[in-house]
Amino acid sequence: MDKTYHPAAIERRLYEEWEQRGWFAPAGAGAPYCIMIPPPNVTGTLHMGHAFQHTLMDALTRYHRMRGCRTLWQPGTDHAGIATQMVVERQLNAQGQQRSTIGREAFVARVWEWKEQSGGTICRQMRRLGDSVDWSRDRFTMDEGLSAAVTEVFVALYEEGLIYRGKRLVNWDPVLHTALSDLEVIAEPEQGQLWHFRYPLADGSGHLVVATTRPETMLGDTAVAVHPTDERYRHLVGRQVRLPVTGRLVPVIADEYVDPAFGSGCVKITPGHDFNDYEIGRRHGLPLINVLDRDARISAGDCAGEALPAGGIPVELVGLDRFAARQRVVALLEEAGLLEKIEPHSLPVPRGDRSNAVLEPWLTDQWYVKIAPLAAPAIRAVEDGRIRFVPENWAKTYFQWMHNIQDWCISRQLWWGHRIPAWYDAAGAVHVGRSEAAVRAAHGLGPDVVLRQDEDVLDTWFSSALWPFSTLGWPHKTPELGVFYPTSVLVTGFDIIFFWVARMIMMGLKFTGEVPFREVYITGLIRDEHGEKMSKSKGNILDPLDLIDGVDLETLVAKRTSGLMQPQLRPQIEKATRRQFPDGIPEFGTDALRFTFAALASTGRDIRFDLNRIEGYRNFCNKLWNATRYVLMNVEGQELAPAGTLPTALPDRWIRSRLGKAVAGVHEQLALYRFDLAARALYEFTWNEYCDWYLELTKPLLQGADTAPQARAATRRALVEVLEALLRALHPLMPFITEELWRKVAGVAGTSGDTVMLQPYPAAEAFPADEAAEAELAWVQGFVLGIRQIRGEMNIAPGRPLPVLLQDAGAGDRHRAGTQLHFLRQLARLESIRVLEAGEDAPACATALLGGMKILVPMAGLIDLDAERERLTRALAKAEAERTRVEAKLANRQFADNAPPAVVAREQERLRAIGQEISQLGGQLARLG
């Protein structure tokens, strides 16, 4: 074995073997355990958030597989409609081509090409992460089977009246030319202006003032609204104003919606271009005028397809972009003397989450899912506990959204996606069915009738919502569906609770009658070391593979600065990257990365990724590697006690007891999804107990001349057995190194099996608690620590053997000093131990306390008297302060009367012990003079 661990040397080889031998596929007849991967964008790459979640999913998967479950981690990708279409369109544009000129069919073919070309990236990344997904079941949302499920669901919902087509205001992206759902809109406050315009009353008796942030939409105003109780305007309600620029007459109406305190208290109402105005328009039966085209340029104006009522839009405005039109409209009003004032005003501006374009509420025909009937059962499923959120607080977020849920706009004016299964005849009547043939058959439409399929595709999330059952073969009643659905747990981030989690619950319940998963474990979001969200535009992204393999600075800079949406950010990103990683990133290996993710997975919702952490866990890998090296060096080719031999040596008994407790903790924490605590339990056991104490304790046993061969064989057995179990316990978190080491150790341990991943996960009961051994070893540790403390603080060379005297040793102490002598000698580097008889005087010594006993190190030639005096004085002061505290506590009647007796007793014992300590320290100090 190498002296240090080199992950690159083993990772790929082991993964290939796992995959080739089919070990990821569900096997056996155990209880089913299933996790559905949140499908990443097929043409994307995995970022740190994916790597984090994959680590947790794989840990759960491997853990349950080792516990004998029939375990399926279902992989796959989604087609990411808008994102993918945008990428391919950009490629096209770069070649001087346009989507519109090559046509739909050719374009979709190009997208498929791109998918084939780039789709392998994610699979490669997942393999490097060690993901034990069943690749034979890999699925893609645009696969035939999954597409059939989409059609089936669409038709069924339509036939039940839960999908409808309607002309409504939608969030329109004038750049991508598609409708978006509410969730795809990002509204950030931006600095704008509030324009105050005078709208003359039709009878010439004056004017009223409206305030608006969007002057250009006044071309489509169909009313002015005031609050019904607003005394200033009450008399105007029912009268008419002449809309400037267009000259149309519009009524003054009263509506509760108006806030009299804002602006002038009069609101222009544009039902065609504002969601609130749309509602007001409906309440008051106002006409609806559309003044924008699909590019958000001023159109000639139409009234839901009808001719514009009296008064038109000036020709000079038609065709102007909305922002240019805004300036012209303001100028026109100013020229007409109707501009009262302009105020600066901050307002939320809706932008598309992909295009970043300012969206327009726009009147179009779209398909909607009527959501309330689906939401109600989905709410109940969480309320009654059929689905449990972890941490449970996220249920609140879920409920809040579900209770206010709006109908879901599912049609997108894109070419890449599931085409809507609806056909129109020449008269424009719509027919929905599983295929054109089915539609013709169902409606008796002969071949002479021309049918045209709806041009639109479905929201990508529509197909993602079916993922838990469509991947298992639904609508067919496949065996897998029967075994693995409902799935066990969904692991995902809180950012897609609405997009995905809620919709899966609704669709799952609707189409299978069962919840799609029993638990939802919501992870935090990985951020950079400053707590900033990682994003391409911030230039702070890390590729998980770069942490695994390492990356040089130039490559890293190139990665972070290429393909930027805003190229002007390049210099600052480059500078920051060079500052943060002057030497690039070293190789850490997959296991170190995975252990880091697990250790960071606490309940918080922001997780800062700190390179120092991963470095620490790389060292941990190396520690484990070297511990194994030590074990093998001491065991290989040597005689071992037969398996099942119960250990008798104290260290062997102790480490098994400690392992049992550590393993119990891991089981407990994993059941709670506390990967951080599970990781910590394993880390601390491995490093602080197995390596720091146990391996050191085996040295006198194995290397000392005074140990019987049989005893050595027994210790070798314990050494190997505990390591073997530890490797199994660590495997779900660190699959590669544990596999490599386990294969070396298993043979020696006499365990058969080709792989650790199919071995049983250690049970705590296999290593029962041995409290006597723990107490005994705690005494040894206390002894050793006492000596080390003296050594450390007195600057005594670590190698120098010390003679030690024991004073006030009880019977137990005397016995232990005898039986554990060889351990004390080795670990504390003792020359000799002598027990002082009662009344026997000791020379000047440095002192350590162990229970009632004093451990004395004679000072002659070793110890600085002043230093020891100072040390004792410090300890004494500390002990006295403590005594004061405890005394005060016990003297308090309230405490003595009210606190539980056990607590009071503990304080009394504490007082006794501290009193003893003080007298011992005081005596020792006095002796030093």
Residue 666 CB, nearest distance to RNA (Å)? 14
375: tokens are 């939401």
Residue 900 CB, nearest distance to RNA (Å)? 5
Establish if 136 lies at the interface with RNA (CB under 7 A).
no
Residue 307 CB, nearest distance to RNA (Å)? 26
Name which of 689, 693, 387, 332 is nearest 514 in CA terms.
387
Out of 903, 905, 908, 912, the residue judged to bind RNA by CB under 7 A: 903
Residue 347 CB, nearest distance to RNA (Å)? 4
Strands, sheet with 178-180, edge to edge from the N-terminal-most edge strand: 178-180, 163-173, 360-369, 408-409
Establish if 882 lies at the interface with RNA (CB under 7 A).
yes
Establish if 276 lies at the interface with RNA (CB under 7 A).
yes
Establish if 900 lies at the interface with RNA (CB under 7 A).
yes
Q: How far is CA 904 from the centre of its chain?
A: 45
If DSSP states are collapsed to H, E and C, what string results for 337-358?
CCEEEEEEEEEEEEEECCCCCE
Rounded distance, CA 655 to CA 723, Å?
10
Rounded distance, CA 245 to CA 218, Å?
9
Give the residues across from 195 on adjacent strands: 212, 342
Phi-psi region of 70 (alpha: psi -120 to 50; beta: other; left: phi over 0): beta
Rounded distance, CA 600 to CA 589, Å?
17
Name which of 886, 885, 884 is nearest 908 in CA terms.
886
Task: Identify residues 403-442 at the interface with RNA (CB under 7 A).
Answer: 404
Out of 19, 138, 152, 182, the residue judged to bind RNA by CB under 7 A: 182
Residue 464 CB, nearest distance to RNA (Å)? 17
Establish if 627 lies at the interface with RNA (CB under 7 A).
yes
Taken in order 874, 877, 880, 886, is the CA torsion positive or negative? negative
Task: Identify residues 794-853 at the interface with RNA (CB under 7 A).
Answer: 795, 797-799
Out of 388, 629, 744, 869, the residue judged to bind RNA by CB under 7 A: 629
Residue 903 CB, nearest distance to RNA (Å)? 5
Decide whether 469 or 498 has the Cβ nearer to RNA.
498
- Amino acid identity of residue 138, one-letter, is D
Task: Identify residues 703-722 at the interface with RNA (CB under 7 A).
Answer: 703
Exposed, middle or buried, 882 (CB in 10 Å: 0-12/13-18/19+)?
A: middle
Decide whether 625 or 761 has the Cβ nearer to RNA.
625
Decide whether 142 or 879 has the Cβ nearer to RNA.
879
Name which of 633, 624, 603 is nearest 729 in CA terms.
624
Read out DSSP for 887-918? HHHHH-HHHHHHS-HHHHHHHHHHHHHHHHHH
Establish if 687 lies at the interface with RNA (CB under 7 A).
yes
Task: Identify residues 295-354 at the interface with RNA (CB under 7 A).
Answer: 345, 347-348
Establish if 744 lies at the interface with RNA (CB under 7 A).
no
Give the residues across from 72 on adjacent strands: 34
Decide whether 28 or 801 has the Cβ nearer to RNA.
801
Establish if 498 lies at the interface with RNA (CB under 7 A).
yes
Count of residues in contact with RNA, rule CB under 7 A: 98
Residue 403 CB, nearest distance to RNA (Å)? 10
Task: Identify residues 516-555 at the interface with RNA (CB under 7 A).
Answer: 529, 531
Rounded distance, CA 724 to CA 761, Å?
11
Given a contact cutoff of 8 angstroms between Cβ atoms, the answer to whether 55 and 598 are in contact is yes
Decide whether 140 or 498 has the Cβ nearer to RNA.
498
Rounded distance, CA 257 to CA 69, Å?
58
Question: For RNA, which stretch binds (CB under 7 A), given 470-478, 553-561, 749-757, 899-907?
Answer: 899-907
Exposed, middle or buried, 786 (CB in 10 Å: 0-12/13-18/19+)?
A: buried
172: tokens are 């329109």
Residues whose CB falls within 8 Å of the CB of residue 571, separated by 6 or more in sequence, listed in order: none
Out of 17, 606, 831, 840, the residue judged to bind RNA by CB under 7 A: 606
Establish if 401 lies at the interface with RNA (CB under 7 A).
yes
758: tokens are 């199919």
Decide whether 99 or 196 has the Cβ nearer to RNA.
196
Residue 311 CB, nearest distance to RNA (Å)? 20
Residue 911 CB, nearest distance to RNA (Å)? 10
Task: Identify residues 235-274 at the interface with RNA (CB under 7 A).
Answer: 257-265, 267-268, 274
Task: Identify residues 632-671 at the interface with RNA (CB under 7 A).
Answer: 633-634
Establish if 23 lies at the interface with RNA (CB under 7 A).
no
Establish if 610 lies at the interface with RNA (CB under 7 A).
yes
Decide whether 393 or 562 has the Cβ nearer to RNA.
393
Out of 12, 242, 699, 743, the residue judged to bind RNA by CB under 7 A: 699
Site string for RNA, 205-224 (x = CB under 7 A): -----xxxxx----------
Task: Identify residues 30-59 at the interface with RNA (CB under 7 A).
Answer: none
Out of 136, 229, 327, 400, the residue judged to bind RNA by CB under 7 A: 400
200: tokens are 């003359």
Decide whether 458 or 886 has the Cβ nearer to RNA.
886
Out of 46, 122, 150, 183, the residue judged to bind RNA by CB under 7 A: 183
Task: Identify residues 186-205 at the interface with RNA (CB under 7 A).
Answer: 187, 189
Decide whether 118 or 602 has the Cβ nearer to RNA.
602
CA angle (411, 417, 418) in 5-degree steps: 75
Establish if 621 lies at the interface with RNA (CB under 7 A).
yes
DSSP alpha helices (H): ranges in 97-160? 99-102, 104-118, 120-129, 144-159
